[in-house]
Chains A and B, each alone.
Chain A
């Protein structure tokens, strides 16, 4: 498995959505072990999103639970994930972002519709045609994908080494046709 990740044509196929990444999984259920690209992983139910959100909302209120804790915790996850891929030799952000996003997509998080990067404004727009966080929450009158927003924002922050702020500008839970995240360089 360690060799296959360095196969550039395989990586390109993953990014293009033409190749799945089962070859990068090493699952030994009877040993209580699962690794993905040599890194320990676990399977958690999608209902975790709602359970965590409800629990945090009880303690810190809805705005802080979603906009702050979920967003920032998953941003750190995105940054760490990118750092791990960088250790594996992926240093070009133009590859890192779509690769990291593709990996989370293939782990069941969402389906990618498009990823756009504007080099002039340094703005990244990621559009998803399916998102497990939105599905779990169900219908809402506002955007709900705080974890996904944080995750994607962290991936961009880690890949480009800049401070960014992500905003969910459309959400399937609101009745939009997709979930869309606009990630811009932060002023601070």
Chain B
């Protein structure tokens, strides 16, 4: 089920990886076009989410909804799904983020239910 849902993200133009990651860095499910060390990516995403949530708490700015790393060759979109799990989507075109975000909102309930 999770695999099917991640495959839907993979059909978005420019997306080449979609991962569900525990906040402790453990990969729950992943879909990726190329050989990619998803465990390494999972660890990095977990650390990113962790420090961002700490910033929100320290500055009393509330909960983290999502974050986008805008890099030269494409974005990494990260969003919490549950208190313990996050989704990360990697693409090679920055314009993809809006599409990824709307796909996530469309499928959020199904993703959470499948966890």
A residues apposed to B, CB below 8 Å: 58-69, 71-72, 163, 165, 186, 188
Candidates B37, B38, B50; contact of A65 at CB < 8 Å:
B50
Contact yes or no, A59 B51, CB < 8 A: yes
Known: A61-B53, A63-B24. A68 touches B47 (CB 8 A): yes
Known: A64-B24, A64-B46. A188 touches B39 (CB 8 A): yes
Candidates A63, A69, A71; contact of B23 at CB < 8 Å:
A63
Interface size class of B (residues with CB under 8 A): 10 to 19
Candidates A62, A64, A188; contact of B27 at CB < 8 Å:
A188
Q: Does B22 contact A (CB under 8 A)?
A: yes
Q: Does B5 contact A (CB under 8 A)?
A: no
Contact yes or no, B25 A67, CB < 8 A: yes
B residues apposed to A, CB below 8 Å: 22-27, 30, 37-39, 43, 46-47, 49-51, 53-54, 84
Known: A63-B46, A63-B50. A68 touches B39 (CB 8 A): no
Q: Identify the interface centre among A62, A67, A163, A165: most chain B CB within 10 Å of its CB.
A: A67
> Chain A residue with minimal CB distance to B27?
A188
Name 7 A/B residue pairs within 8 A (Cβ), A-sorted.
Answer: A60-B51, A61-B49, A61-B51, A64-B23, A67-B25, A68-B47, A165-B26
Candidates A61, A68, A188; contact of B37 at CB < 8 Å:
A188
Please, which residues of chain A bring their CB within 8 A of the CB of B49? Answer: 61, 64
Contact yes or no, A67 B46, CB < 8 A: yes
Contact yes or no, A68 B38, CB < 8 A: no
Other contacts beyond A62-B50, A68-B47, A69-B47: 15, CB < 8 A? A59-B54, A60-B51, A61-B23, A61-B49, A61-B54, A63-B24, A63-B50, A64-B23, A64-B24, A64-B47, A64-B49, A66-B24, A163-B39, A165-B26, A188-B38
Task: Report Cα–Cα, A65/B25, bound state, in Å.
Answer: 10
Please, which residues of chain A bring their CB within 8 A of the CB of B25? Answer: 63-64, 67-68, 71-72
Q: How far is the CB of B88 from chain A (nearest CB, A)?
A: 14
Contact yes or no, A64 B38, CB < 8 A: no
Q: Identify the interface centre among B23, B24, B37, B43: most chain A CB within 10 Å of its CB.
A: B24
Q: How far is the CB of B101 from chain A (nearest CB, A)?
A: 23
Contact yes or no, B46 A68, CB < 8 A: yes
> Chain A residue with minimal CB distance to B36?
A188
Contact yes or no, A60 B50, CB < 8 A: yes
